[in-house]
Amino acid sequence: MSSIRQAKQQRIPAFLRSWGGVFGAGWLIFMFLASITARWWRPYDVAEQDLIARLQGPSSEYWLGTDAVGRDLFSRVFTAGALPLQASAVMVLVAFGIGLPLILIAAERGGRVEEAIGRFAETIMSLPSTVILLAAIGAIGNRIYPVMMIFGLLVSAALYRILIGVAKSSRQHLYIDAARVDGMGSIRVNLAHVLPSMARPIAVQAAIVYAIGLLIINGLAFLGFGPGEPQPSWGFMIKDASDNIFNSPWMMVPSRRRPLAHGHGGECAGRCAGRTPRHPGVHPP
């Protein structure tokens, strides 16, 4: 009986077996869907101003209050989510797109190849990423997708350093040797055996890196490199709230809600997905 229950539980991913994981994943999914669809259900347009009701606290009319020019914060908070959620996903794809092949090659070849790739990754990892991203914006302009792809390149080095150990130890399994002896090609072995055995640490790192991407995008928006006004962005809403903190401290609350929820949701899901990663590895800025 208990073995049946165990077998059933195995099918549920580990992180959904704890309350933190369920909360994190659920919150992320809810926010993701709500943000992507916000343009169809939001109560006010993001640019709609109510100049009489400026800097208000929450009310039945404006659920999260209004900003300095009387725009509805509830609509703005949700609409602002769409772009960072997508741009950060692109960043994660780029990071793994560059990182994973290098990890697999280094783990398979070892020796000189591994050392060369390792040195390169170490070099990239010691670059101060925020400064590089600002330089990128100064050079190619305020275009969030290319800038986040450059960030993905920087992150791939950190991924390499964290996951290379996992890849190497998963190549130690006997069934990898068996597959090789059986005449399976290098690429097929990697795709069919090495990668699946790394699924859990990959998922953990993806969740963490995704949350970091959101933080970076909001940090850039805070500095003024978000979507231009009147389009809302979380970072710029925090900036806006900080400018009005003397006369309207309430604005800090809704502007905070989203980045926190995502950062924490990602962290939670990530941490619970694999038992706490030994290497905190990639860090938020």
Partner 1 sequence: MPLYIAKRLAIGVGTIWAAFTLTFLLVHSTDNSPGAVRLGMGATPEEVEVENERLGWNRPLLTQYADDLGKMVRLDFGQSLINRGDVRDQLSDRLPVTASISVLATLLAGIVGTALGVVAAVRGRGTAKAVNAFSGFSLSIPSFWLGVVLVYFFAIRLDLLPATGYSRFSEGVGSWLQSLALPVITLAIGGAAVVARMAASGMREALAREYITTLRAIGTPEWRIRYIHALRAASLPVVGALGVQFIVLFGGSVIIENLFALPGIGQAALFGATGNDFPILIGVVVMSTAVVVITNLVLDLLTAVLDPKLRTR
**Site residues (vs partner 1, CB under 8 A):** 119, 122-132, 134-141, 150, 211, 215, 218-219, 222-225, 235, 238-239, 241-242, 245-246, 249, 252, 255-256, 259-260, 262-264, 266-268, 271, 276, 278, 280, 283-285
79 Cβ neighbours under 8 A, 6+ residues apart = 35, 38, 39, 42, 46, 231, 232
Query: In angstroms, what is the minimal distance from the CB of 73 to partner 1?
Result: 15
- Tell me which residue has tokens 């077998």: 7
Q: Cβ distance 84 to 139 under 8 Å? A: no
What is the C-alpha to C-alpha distance for residues 226 and 216, in angstroms, rounded to an integer?
11
**Least distance between partner 1 and beta carbon 251 (Å):** 10
Residue with smaller CB distance to partner 1, 82 or 220: 220
Taking the complex as a whole, how short is the minimal distance between the CB of residue 156 and partner 1, in angstroms? 14
Task: Please report, for residues 26, 102, 184, the alpha-carbon distance to residue 188 in angstroms, rounded to integers and kept in the order given.
Answer: 35, 16, 6
Residues 62 and 94: their CA atoms lie apart, in Å, by: 39
For the bound state, the minimum distance from the C-beta of residue 36 to partner 1, rounded and expressed in Å, comes to 21
Closer residue to partner 1 (CB): 164 or 176:
164
* CA distances to 89, 95, 174, 258 from 191, in Å: 22, 18, 16, 36
Q: How far is the CB of 238 from partner 1 (least distance, A)?
A: 5
Q: Which two tokens stand for residue 88?
A: 């950060």
Of 44 and 232, CB closest to partner 1: 232
Closer of 84 and 108 to partner 1 (Cβ)? 84
Pick 65 or 190: Cβ nearer partner 1: 65
Q: What are phi and psi of 66, to 5 degrees?
A: -135, 165
